[in-house]
Chain A
Amino acid sequence: MAAPDSPVTQDELHALVDGELPADRLTAVSAWLATHPDDAALVAQWRGQAEAVRARYGAVADEPVPARFNVDRLAANGTQRPWRSIAAAVALALLAGGVGGWVAHSTSEASANPADVFTSEALGAHQLYIAEMRHPIEVRAHEQHLLPWLSRRVGTTLQAPDLSTFDLKLLGGRLLPGATGPAALMMYEGANGERYTIYCARRTAARAALSYSATNDTAAVRWMDSEFGYAVSGPANRERLLGIAEAVYDQLARPRTDAQQLISKRGS
């Protein structure tokens, strides 16, 4: 903690506005503001922003709650809910621009590094399907033909890694067209709704160790073994995603070439 007479930091100014400033710094920060008009103006600006946000949206919480939000009713038939608006909006958005953009994206990168094309296909599939509420997958995890079916189509023996140590549960999978043939996508979900996917297809590039790449808030860890390529995609949290990808890598029983050492960092 800062000494009572140490200079005031920007973080402390934010903390003051948000009621997070430790009591023993209140006097020092108030005194600072009295002699630093620029900082005082900044604090006033931030308070004004907060007031504007509350003035605009605060009253929503006072509106009567619509009948559709009765929890007993939702618990009783929530799963049969017609998932209209969001699913429909997502589907329309994808038809309008998403899939087109995705295809254009793939072809425009046709001359790019094949390993990167593989990653962007995996990320494209990830982003397309994690947004689905009702049909994120084609075949559910508990259906016994899931893995034999995907294995047969992709041409390898696929296992679904156990990611329960990461609080992730297998939802199921689907088959996709990949650049070099069928690709399998397995989707996992955590209790908080975050989704991860494992993408597997015949490899399109030279063997390669784990490589992390991120676009905005989504990231993928990709590697290529002797015959197949894999990409594990999820929210762009590097530590967690690498941990998950290594667990997948280990469980798929690939010869280990000290993955940790070979991980190369790539951002974009």
Chain B
Amino acid sequence: MAAFRHSIQEQIPALRRYARALTRDAELADDLVQDTLVRALRSEHLFHGGELRSWLYTILTNLNRNRLRSLARRPTLMAIDDNDAPDAAGPEAGARDIERALDSLVDDQRTALLLVVLEGMSYREVAEVQGVPIGTVMSRLARARAHIKGYLEGQRPVLRRVK
């Protein structure tokens, strides 16, 4: 039991990173992590060996999906673009761009992309976490990348040209 808890504790920094990128909101992210931990600790008897890391990521991914499903019923509020993005330069602006680009993705695509590029998971592990075949993971990844490319290349240069 102590070993199980220790293994869970070790995953917390990475889970927080994943949750932060998934939600782009520090407080929400930590709440998701805490709910994931509580659930995992409560279900210790359900865990029959296997990959603890994948299991924790699966729980967090599902909790986040449940959260988004309930929010999906809200009217969509679009952030009003303050047009200041093109003026800012350097890492600040890049960070904000990637944040907005992630924001504009469909949840399943964002999840697949983050698990691969941020968490360094293999396609097979991501397939396990998302509960889909590897082919689906790859098409989500391809669509996410194409979308981000379009987002980064399409919007900003147009605004820039006005300057």
Interface stretch, picked from B63-71, B79-87, B154-162, is B63-71
Determine whether the beta carbon of A102 is less than 8 Å from that of B73.
Answer: yes
Contact-size category for A:
35 or more
The CA-CA distance from A10 to B31 in the complex, in Å, is 38
Report A32-48 residues with CB < 8 Å from chain B CB: 42, 45-46
Determine whether the beta carbon of B34 is less than 8 Å from that of A74.
Answer: yes
Q: Is B142 an interface residue (CB 8 A)?
A: yes
Report A116-159 residues with CB < 8 Å from chain B CB: 124, 127-128, 130-131, 133
Q: Is A258 an interface residue (CB 8 A)?
A: no
Q: Give every chain A residue within 8 A of B97 (Cβ-Cβ).
A: 52
The CA-CA distance from A216 to B107 in the complex, in Å, is 10
Q: Give every chain A residue within 8 A of B58 (Cβ-Cβ).
A: 192-193
Q: Give every chain B residue within 8 A of A45 (Cβ-Cβ).
A: 145, 149
Determine whether the beta carbon of A65 is less than 8 Å from that of B13.
Answer: yes
Determine whether the beta carbon of B30 is less than 8 Å from that of A66.
Answer: yes
Q: Give every chain A residue within 8 A of B6 (Cβ-Cβ).
A: 71
Q: Is B72 an interface residue (CB 8 A)?
A: yes
Given A14-B141, A85-B27, A191-B46, residue A97 in contact with residue B62 (CB < 8 A): no
The CA-CA distance from A127 to B68 in the complex, in Å, is 10
Given A93-B71, A93-B74, A94-B73, residue A131 in contact with residue B21 (CB < 8 A): no
Determine whether the beta carbon of B145 is less than 8 Å from that of A49.
Answer: yes
Shortest beta-carbon distance, B33 to chain A, in Å? Answer: 7
Report A76-90 residues with CB < 8 Å from chain B CB: 78-79, 81, 83-86, 89-90
The CA-CA distance from A20 to B69 in the complex, in Å, is 32
Top 9 nearest A-B pairs (CB, nearest first) are A131-B70, A97-B74, A78-B38, A50-B117, A52-B98, A60-B17, A193-B62, A61-B13, A98-B73
Q: Could you list which residues of chain B lie within 8 angstroms of chain A, going by C-beta atoms?
A: 5-6, 8-9, 12-14, 16-17, 20-21, 27-28, 30-35, 37-39, 41-43, 46-47, 55, 58-59, 62-63, 65-67, 69-75, 91, 94-95, 97-99, 101-102, 107-108, 113-114, 116-118, 122-123, 131-132, 138, 141-142, 145, 148-149, 152
Further contacts, 10 of them, CB under 8 A, given A10-B142, A14-B145, A65-B16: A18-B116, A56-B21, A63-B16, A74-B34, A78-B37, A86-B67, A98-B70, A192-B131, A217-B107, A217-B108
* 11 residue pairs from A and B, CB less than 8 Å apart: A10-B142, A14-B138, A55-B95, A55-B98, A57-B20, A81-B34, A90-B70, A98-B74, A128-B70, A193-B63, A235-B131
